[in-house]
Amino acid sequence: MAPQSKSTASPNAAKPNSNDAPIFHTVDRDSGDISRRARIITVWLGLFTCAILVSQFGRPSRAREAEFLRTSAKIDALGKVPASQPVPDKSLTARSEEAKEITPAIYISKKFGVTWQYPRTYVLRKGANGNLNLAGHPAAASAFIDAGATALATVNIPARLYAGTNFKSASLTIRVNPYVSEYSCSQLRISDADGGDGQDLPVSEDTIGAIEFTHAAVDVDDTTAAQRITKEQFFHVYENDACYEFAESVSVAPANSAAHATTIVSPNDLFDRLNEILTSVTIVPVRIPASPAVPVPSA
- 181 and 261 share a domain? yes
pLDDT (0 to 100) of residue 81: 47
Question: Does 90 reside within a domain?
Answer: no
**DSSP string for residues in the chain:** -PPPP---S-GGGSSPPGGGS-SS------HHHHHHHHHHHHHHHHHHHHHHHHHHHHHHHHHHHHHHHHHHHHHHHTTPPPTTSPPP-HHHHHHHHHHHHHSEEEEEETTTTEEEEEETTSEEEEGGGTTB-TTSSB-S----SSS--EEEEEEE--GGGGTTBSEEEEEEEEEEETTS-HHHHT--B--GGGT--SPBPP-EEEEETTEEEEEEEEEE--TTSTT-EEEEEEEEEEETTEEEEEEEEEEE--GGG-TT-SB---HHHHHHHHHHHHHT-EE----PPPPPPPPPPP-
Question: Does 292 reside within a domain?
Answer: no
pLDDT (0 to 100) of residue 208: 95
pLDDT (0 to 100) of residue 49: 76
Question: Does 250 reside within a domain?
Answer: yes
- 132 and 48 share a domain? no
- 187 and 54 share a domain? no
- 43 and 177 share a domain? no
pLDDT (0 to 100) of residue 288: 74
- 50 and 174 share a domain? no
- 41 and 110 share a domain? no
Residues of the chain with pLDDT under 50: 1-14, 24, 60, 75, 78-81, 293-299
Question: Does 77 reside within a domain?
Answer: no
- 170 and 265 share a domain? yes
Kindly report the CATH number assigned to the domain that includes residue 208.
3.40.1000.10
- 63 and 108 share a domain? no
Question: Does 138 reside within a domain?
Answer: yes
- 124 and 214 share a domain? yes
Question: Does 83 reside within a domain?
Answer: no
Per-residue pLDDT tens for 169-197? 999 999 999 999 999 999 999 876 676 77
- 120 and 256 share a domain? yes
pLDDT (0 to 100) of residue 154: 98
In the chain, the number of structural domains is: 2
Structural domain span for residue 52: 37-68
pLDDT (0 to 100) of residue 265: 93
